[in-house]
Amino acid sequence: MMRRPLIANVLVALALVVVFGWLCTTVFALLGTQTDWSKAWEYRQTLWRGWWMTLQISFAALLGSIFFGLLFMLGQRSPLVVVRWTCRAFLEFVRDTPLLVHLLFGYFVIFAPLISRPLGERGFDDKLIIGILLLSVFEGAYLGEILRGGVESIPRTQWESARAVGFSRFQVYRYVIFPQALRRALPAMAGLFVSLIKDSSLLNVIGVAEYFYNTKNFISRSYAGLEGYVPLAIGYLILTLPVAWLSHWLENRFRHET
Amino acid sequence: MKLEVTGLTKCYGTTRAADGLSLSVESSRVLVLIGPSGGGKSTLLRMLGGLEIPDAGTIAINSHRLLSDAAALQTYRRKNGFLFQQFNLFPHLTALRNISLPLEKVHGHTPAEARTMAEQSLARFSLIDHADKLPAQLSGGQQQRVGIARAVARQPEVLFLDEPTSALDPEMTAEVLELIQELAEAGQDIVLSTHEMGFARAVADQIAFVAMGKIEEVSPPAEFFGAPKSLMCQRFLSRVMRY
């Protein structure tokens, strides 16, 4: 009984290895003569700087998106109808338009004319700061929905019990609702943070010297192919895999608790 | 406890959960609300407990009047206890923490004080062995008992219980009812709604019959169960007491 699935598994695995191996050898055979890994080594400084920049952008936008996410979540739960509707409309707009458009429009039309000069005079990199801001708003819009889902999934009796023991409005959120809602939202949040890291590559369109931008420059300058794209993929994997693992770990851990 | 309620009205959409309800009780230790489901017991209890603001009417408990602004009601809730049918406990906190957290954050006790008080409260109802368990690890009856322990940890003026045993099986019902009786005998003022007629008879010193958003009848249990005056009440009792 146990042997049949085992054999099937082995056969399928073998077939996959053969297909993948064939694909790799064909591609490498075609490109093999032109591939020169020393090019990538030559540009290692730029690539490293870009990767480090991507890490910093991701971290800053992560904090930023948490801020905006909380803001959007609370806005949608505001007792004022006008605030709720404005929030709703803004979120809908942000979530239904591409990040690329936000970055181009937000940078060149809205923020650059507005704050580029004052930022530049104080010695800041305006592209970087505006890019992080726009990325934070975009991811924050998604996070806001995730958090709202988490908060609204907490049963009514929990709110009531919290009020009944005398907690204030703030304390109800702080001690009763958030700890439970975050627990439920954590896996989805970790997934979003993986997206955030990947989306940060779009900042290249406004000229932020992050990992993708620097790799692109390296490729066009040295006519590299694989030597550029393989490190690019690996570089992003190094950033995203730990977050993805964290998300699975959290999912497993909290599944048993409630 | 002295209770004076006049013209209390509360609407949810088009349903009038309380419809000009008036109730006057001179002095009662345990007031039990009885009546058909959807008759307004819970609504009345929630307004008495300061969880819901009436659309119209006044409530006075022990001759101080309930105000209808949020801050005053919060202060009021802090000196009373309230227990719902189920899911009272915060599932992410242990039984002990469920009790000590409000003591710390609401009543301003130091963590050490709060812990001692919570332990005393659990010990009083022989729940101390469960102190470090999460609510999911407790039975329904134990959860309700911890809920009551939390509600009385800081000697509430009045304890409100909204059908505290409706979600429990008979055995657990008994353990919770025993605890409530114990509290009543120790002198705790209690207002509770229930479908357990035998318990109501044993523990109440006044019974109020609530139906269609109004009080039909208020009387001591012997009189209420022996010779109910209103027709609606007679019908209800004959139906629920048949089996």
* The pLDDT of residue A256 is above 60: no
Tens digits of residue pLDDT in B210-242:
999 999 999 999 999 988 888 889 999 988 888
Chain A residues within an 8 Å CB radius of B49: 164
Asked if B84 lies within 8 A of A167 by C-beta distance, the reply is no
Asked if B51 lies within 8 A of A164 by C-beta distance, the reply is yes
* The pLDDT of residue A125 is above 90: no
Lowest mean pLDDT among A22-26, A118-122, A152-156, B11-15: A118-122
Q: Return the percentage of chain B with pLDDT > 90, whole number.
A: 63
Chain B, 134 to 193: residues with Cβ < 8 Å from chain A are 134, 136, 150-151
Asked if A158 lies within 8 A of B87 by C-beta distance, the reply is yes
Mean pLDDT of B93-108: 94
Asked if A157 lies within 8 A of B84 by C-beta distance, the reply is yes
Distance from CA of A74 to the nearest CA of B (A): 20
Chain A interface includes B124 (CB < 8 A) = no
Chain A interface includes B53 (CB < 8 A) = no
Can you tell me whether residue B16 is helix, strand or coil? strand
Distance from CA of B162 to the nearest CA of A (A): 12
pLDDT score at A83 = 94
* The pLDDT of residue B74 is above 70: yes
Q: Return the percentage of chain A with pLDDT > 70, whole number.
A: 97
Chain A interface includes B86 (CB < 8 A) = yes
Mean pLDDT rounded to a whole number for chain B: 91
Chain A interface includes B105 (CB < 8 A) = yes
Handedness of CA B150, B151, B153, B154 (dihedral sign): positive
CB contacts < 8 A, A to B, total 58
Asked if B102 lies within 8 A of A179 by C-beta distance, the reply is no
Q: Which domains, from first to last, does chain A contain?
A: 46-201+211-250 (1.10.3720.10)
Pick from B18, B31, B24: which is nearest to B6 by CA? B24
CB atoms within 10 A of CB B120: 13
Bridge-partner residues for B39, per DSSP?
A: none
pLDDT score at A1 = 55
- What pTM was estimated for this model as a whole? 0.80
Using CA atoms, how far apart are residues B129 and A99, in angstroms rounded to an integer?
A: 55
* The pLDDT of residue B193 is above 90: yes
Q: What is the token pair recorded at B149?
A: 């322990």
Q: What is the token pair recorded at A248?
A: 């699975």
Distance from CA of A92 to the nearest CA of B (A): 30
Asked if B92 lies within 8 A of A179 by C-beta distance, the reply is yes
pLDDT band per the 50, 70, 90 thresholds, residue A242? very high
Chain A interface includes B74 (CB < 8 A) = yes
* The pLDDT of residue A189 is above 70: yes
Chain A interface includes B88 (CB < 8 A) = yes
Does B108 or A29 have the greater pLDDT score? Answer: B108
Mean pLDDT of A51-73: 94
Distance from CA of B147 to the nearest CA of A (A): 10
Closest residue in A to B47 (Cα–Cα): A164
Give me the half-sphere count of Cα atoms (radius 13 Å) on the Cβ side of residue A240: 17
Q: Return the percentage of chain A with pLDDT > 90, whole number.
A: 55
How big is chain A by its Cα radius of gyration, in Å? 23
Mean pLDDT of B35-41: 90
Pick from B202, B198, B192: which is nearest to B163 by CA? B192
Using CA atoms, how far apart are residues B214 and B209, in angstroms rounded to an integer?
A: 8
Amino acid at B30: V
Does A3 or A254 have the greater pLDDT score? Answer: A3
ipTM of the assembly?
0.87
pLDDT band per the 50, 70, 90 thresholds, residue A255? low
Of residues A161, A183, A257, nearest to B88 (C-beta): A161
Lowest mean pLDDT among A116-120, B98-102, B111-115: A116-120
Strand (E) or helix (H) holding B22: strand B15-25
Chain A residues within an 8 Å CB radius of B83: 164
Closest residue in A to B49 (Cα–Cα): A164
Mean pLDDT of A18-36: 84
Interface probe, candidates B90, B97, B107, B150, chain A, greatest A C-beta count within 10 A: B90
Chain B residues within an 8 Å CB radius of A167: 102, 105-106
Chain B residues within an 8 Å CB radius of A176: 90
pLDDT score at A105 = 92
Chain A interface includes B107 (CB < 8 A) = yes
Asked if A183 lies within 8 A of B101 by C-beta distance, the reply is no
Closest residue in A to B73 (Cα–Cα): A166
Asked if A165 lies within 8 A of B107 by C-beta distance, the reply is no
Lowest mean pLDDT among B97-101, B108-112, B230-234: B230-234
Distance from CA of A58 to the nearest CA of B (A): 31
* The pLDDT of residue A223 is above 90: no
Mean pLDDT rounded to a whole number for chain A: 89
Of residues B49, B78, B105, nearest to A175 (C-beta): B105
Instruction: Transcribe B59-117 into DSSP letters.
Output: EEETTEEPP-SHHHHHHHHHTSEEE-SS--S-TTS-HHHHHHHHHHHTT---HHHHHHH
pLDDT band per the 50, 70, 90 thresholds, residue B95? very high
Of residues B82, B84, B136, nearest to A258 (C-beta): B136
* The pLDDT of residue A251 is above 80: no
pLDDT score at A187 = 84
